[in-house]
Amino acid sequence: MTRVVAPSRLHFGLLNAGDIPGVPRFGGCGLMIDSPGVAVRVEPAARWHGEGPAADRAVEFARRVTAEPHRVVVERCPPQHIGLGVGTSLGLAVAKALRPDLSTVELALLVGRGLRSGVGLHGFDRGGFIVDAGKVGDALPGLAAHVSFPAGWRIVLIVPDQPSPWHGSDERAAFARRRDPSVAARVAEQMQHLLMAEIVPALEAGHFDRFSEGVYEYNRLAGWPFVADQGGTYSGRVVTAIIDTIREVGCAGVGQSSWGPAVFALAPDGGQAEYLANVICGRFAGLRTVEVVTAASCGALLDPPG
pLDDT, tens digit (0-9, with 9 covering 90-100), for 25-82:
999 999 999 999 999 999 999 999 999 999 999 999 999 999 999 999 999 999 999 9
- What are the distances in angstroms from CA 184 to CA 227, 234, 302? 13, 17, 41
Task: Convert the pLDDT of each residue in 262-297 to its tens digit.
Answer: 999 999 999 999 999 999 999 999 899 999 999 999
**At residue 191, does pLDDT exceed 70?**
yes
Residue range 154-293 in CATH 3.30.70.890: yes
pLDDT (mean) for 104-113 = 96
The pLDDT value given to residue 302:
94
Q: How confident is the model at residue 165 (pLDDT cuts 50, 70, 90)?
A: low
Q: CATH 3.30.70.890 occupies which residues in the chain?
A: 154-293
Q: Judge contact between 36 and 53, C-beta under 8 A.
A: no
**At residue 304, does pLDDT exceed 80?**
no
The SS3 of residue 109 is helix
Q: Which of 187, 227, 222, 206 is nearest to 20 (CA)?
A: 187
Q: How confident is the model at residue 167 (pLDDT cuts 50, 70, 90)?
A: low
The pLDDT value given to residue 166:
60
Q: CATH 3.30.230.10 occupies which residues in the chain?
A: 2-148
- pTM of the predicted model over 0.85: yes
Q: Which residue has the higher pLDDT, 286 or 202?
A: 202
* Bridge partners (DSSP) listed for residue 72: 42, 50
What is the dotted CATH code of the domain comprising 2-148?
3.30.230.10
Q: Judge contact between 175 and 17, C-beta under 8 A.
A: yes
Q: Judge contact between 231 and 166, C-beta under 8 A.
A: no
